[in-house]
A and B are shown apart, each in its own frame.
Chain A
């Protein structure tokens, strides 16, 4: 790997287009080893099977790398920046030291419902890490849909293909962020459970959500996650979203889905994606919602915000249908 990954100073965010395991391992192991040789902290966050391959290929070097299964920790793309990428970078870049991360948020098998959140995440990385001494290399399997590979050109300033690194002519992360903020599809069923709330009904909204979600098949062990997240979004509606809102729940493709609609507007695209310092009073609500959900989608404009959260149900692990 050449200039982008050897960059000094600011943020570097190359996409790596790979064909097959050999090319994948060749490029990623050399990226990791170059970092280790330079004394840089290195993390690898890639989905299970690729993690297994890479760990084996690294041999003893794997012990010096922070390894994360992206299919689990990064299942909700909305938490990858705060909980994986910045969590590692912030902890290891004190004194201007450079950190190096492989982050693979998109893989064959990501559903059509999840993909827009992956795309939005890739675009937001550029904003979240601007000026930080970090390199994040994002592998893309060339078997992914052509549109996905096109999108990768829009979210990465540099693309590595066949061992050659080139600036991306279509790099436009701001446009991607804007294009991801779209009205959400209607629920598939006729009558989602609906509850209108204001500040006096916050506990009732939470109880309503919990009862309905359990009836829709939410495992009891995730009830506390749901209650916390519902409390957060409904409280946000009361405090920041016009004082009231509407909660809806339904079942969709192996998930319990719930959403809160209010009259607020989220102007900051990185809201919920910044890890707050431990002594800061606020700034954890949306982050918590991202952490506790398997997917979060948002549509926001002046006077209207809908935040929709997916919680996996059942034995298939809640994989969203393509």
Chain B
């Protein structure tokens, strides 16, 4: 066993200046409810804006279930709307490439 690490939680706050959320921490089994809640609120944040934003530069890891939840949220958006995902961790990019490489509702920006 290694020494205990700080609990790996997930924080959420509203973005200033544009519709969306900033998250920090990691997305896995123990934080899946927080992530689901964030995703559920996301489409409503923009009003009728075409894009909503997820700022993920503070997220260190997203497991497959977390990536799936994001992809399903994007698939459920009304036509033409999309989620702009800013600086996601490599784990999320890897899973999105593998299973949803042609998903129009997500745009990843660096």
Contacts and interface: CB of A to CB of B under 8 A. Distances in A.
Interface of A: 195-196, 199-200, 202-204, 206-208, 211, 224-225, 227-228, 231-232, 235, 238-239, 276, 278-279, 281-282, 284-285, 288, 291-292
A202 B61 contact: no
Interface of B is mostly: helix
Contact of A228 (B2, B29, B64, B103): B64
Interface of A is mostly: helix
A235 B29 contact: yes
Nearest to B63: A231
Contacts of A288: 64, 95, 98-99
A97 B59 CA distance: 45
Contacts of B68: 281-282, 284
Given A203-B8, A288-B95, 16 more contacts: A195-B1, A196-B1, A199-B29, A202-B29, A203-B5, A203-B26, A206-B61, A207-B2, A208-B2, A225-B94, A228-B63, A278-B99, A278-B100, A279-B75, A281-B72, A285-B65
Given A195-B1, A231-B28, A278 B103 contact: yes
A224 B30 contact: no
Contacts of A208: 2
Q: Which 3 A-B pairs have the closest CB atoms?
A: A203-B8, A224-B90, A231-B63
Interface residues of B, number: 26
Contacts of B2: 195, 204, 207-208, 211
Nearest to A223: B90
Interface of B: 1-2, 4-5, 8, 26, 28-30, 61, 63-65, 68-69, 71-72, 75, 90-91, 94-95, 98-100, 103
B90 A203 contact: no
Contacts of B71: 278
Nearest to B75: A279
Contact of A200 (B30, B75, B94, B103): B30
Which of B26, B69, B94 counts the most chain A CB atoms within 10 A? Answer: B94
A278 B98 CA distance: 11
